[in-house]
Structure 1
Amino acid sequence: MRLNKTIDHTLLKQNSTEAQIKELCSQAKEFDFATVCINPCWIEFCKKELAGSDVGVCTVIGFPLGAMTTDSKVFEAKNAIEIGADEVDMVLNIGALKDNRMDYVINEIKAIKEAVGTHVLKVIIETCLLTDEEKVRACEAVVKAGADFVKTSTGFSTSGATVEDVRLMKATVKDQCKVKAAGGVRSYDDLLQMIEAGAERIGTSSGCALLQGKNIENNVY
């Protein structure tokens, strides 16, 4: 596995500027990351910046709370694909999961997967807000709904990915879908541990430093 191709190079802060997004794309091309992960307003800009490279454009849907209506998430996902997104990271409805309204959870993921078609769909379950039982239930829902990845975190809640959560998620989904770890990867060793635990994609704003063996302080995402 090429480590650089496990990384979604991420910038999701609401105060991100065009210059910062341009630099994100430049870094992603230099290191040949899997994707840049950005808010939907930057999709078309990044598509142009990354033209001719092997770096995809990933965007977020229902972000960061997941509490939007299903119809609004579906519209957002369709629009993202129409304007150039290659991959979509949606936020699961956490309240519905905690209420055990699994038909709602599964049907929403299914509807968004239908909206994005053959494009990659990752489902953020926000592990820091869930019990282990709820994490397992969320992973099972992601598999049943036909999504491509289950993802740990938005990076905007109380904490990010842990090795233990990644291991639990991988044990639950097995080979039926993939696992993405996001947030909390602060060193090259952290990166390797997440992959060894079962993650096939890493969401981080610090991929360049991590691949150069530098530790990151106060890295949120």
Structure 2
Amino acid sequence: MYNIKNSKELAKLINYTNLNNIITENEMREFLEKAMELNFNSVVVSPTYVKLAKETLKDTNIKVGSVIGFPLGFEDTNSKVDEAKELLEKGADEFEVVINLSYLKDEKYSLLEDEIRKIKEAIGDKILKVIIETKALEDYEKANAAKVAENGGADYVKTASGFVSPNHLFENVNDINIIQKHAPKIKIEVYGGINNYKYANEILTAGADIIGSNEGYEIVKRYKELRENTQVTPKPITLTKK
């Protein structure tokens, strides 16, 4: 299993996510307070709340991520580039763009690569993730999507938007294996359905570089309770017979 030493290390392997489209500002503030409590790698929020997240987290090292073309990815390239530029102005550190699945199904790989490259150029040295929706794809399509993302200059492939997610560990492992084989230089984020430490550990053991989860706070808190806040007083023993 993946060797996680403590809850701080675990939190740094999680992108704590809240893309709820009916969340209130007060609820988002509560979410961000939880993120600060456990110091996650990043938060992922809607474009609406990027400025609030940056302001709230300004004294931490938690990155702020947001989404482009979410959740369907069928906007044209210029629209996605404009979204990226607007997020950059708001202060986003990480950008997650949903791939155009119609282009992928039609094998229009040059169009996909061009789109990813233009978004990457727009955001400079910031992190770009390409969401490929593995649950909606055949294995050869996953391989080509990963290659497109790598060739276009993306930093990560992300397996799902959360709307259509693999629902079994072995599906995720299969996806990780395909991405690693066909796009060996790109990093992998697995997202969707990860709601406990055991599952998170299995995904990391399978080769994911990081996980995204709406349940990040619960995962780390439970781990902390089990591993760091449980006091066991050993019974006295003797090493010789009486």
- Could you state the TM-score of these two structures normalised by the residue count of structure 2? 0.84
1:163–1:193 Cα contact (<8 Å) kept: no
Structure 1, unaligned runs of 5 or more: 215-221
Match of 1:219 in 2: none
Deviations 1:159-214 (A, max 9, x none): 4672321232223222x110000002122111011111221121111111112337
* 1:1-221 alignment runs, 5 A limit: 2-157=9-164, 159=166, 162-174=172-184, 176-213=185-222
Contact 1:162 1:184 in 2 (8 A): no
| SS of residue matched to 1:212 | helix
- Aligned partners of 1:59 and 1:77: how far apart in 2? 9
Structure 1 stretches of 4+ with a deviation exceeding 4 A read 158-161
Please give the alpha-carbon distance, in whole angstroms, between the structure 1 residues aligned to 2:92 and 2:201. Answer: 28
List per-residue Cα deviations over 1:115-143 (Å, max 9, x = no partner): 11100000000001100000000000111
CA displacement, residues 48-83 of structure 1 (integer Å, 9 cap, x when unaligned): 111100111100000000000100000000110111
The one-letter amino acid of 2:179's match is: M
Overall identity of the aligned pairs, in %:
37
AA in 2 matched with 1:181: V
Query: Match of 1:86, as an amino acid?
Result: D
- Distance of 1:179 and 1:80 partners within structure 2: 22
Q: Is contact 1:24-1:36 (8 Å) kept?
A: no
TM-score of the superposed pair, with normalisation by structure 1: 0.92
Work out whether residues 165 and 192 of structure 2, in 8 Å CA contact, stay in contact via their aligned partners in 1: no
Of 82-91 and 184-193, deviating more is 184-193
CA contact (8 A) 1:126 1:152 kept: yes
Cα distance per residue 1:91-148 (max 9 Å; x no partner): 0101100100001111001011111110000000000110000000000011101110
In the aligned structure 2, how far is the partner of 1:207 from the partner of 1:170?
25
Paired amino acid for 2:174: E
SS at match of 2:118: helix
On the 8 A contact 2:84/2:122 being kept in 1, the answer is yes
Shifted more, 147-156 versus 197-206: the winner is 197-206
Structure 2 CA distance for aligned equivalents of residues 163 and 19 of structure 1:
37
User: Could you say what secondary structure the match of 1:67 adopts?
Assistant: coil
Aligned AA for 1:76?
E
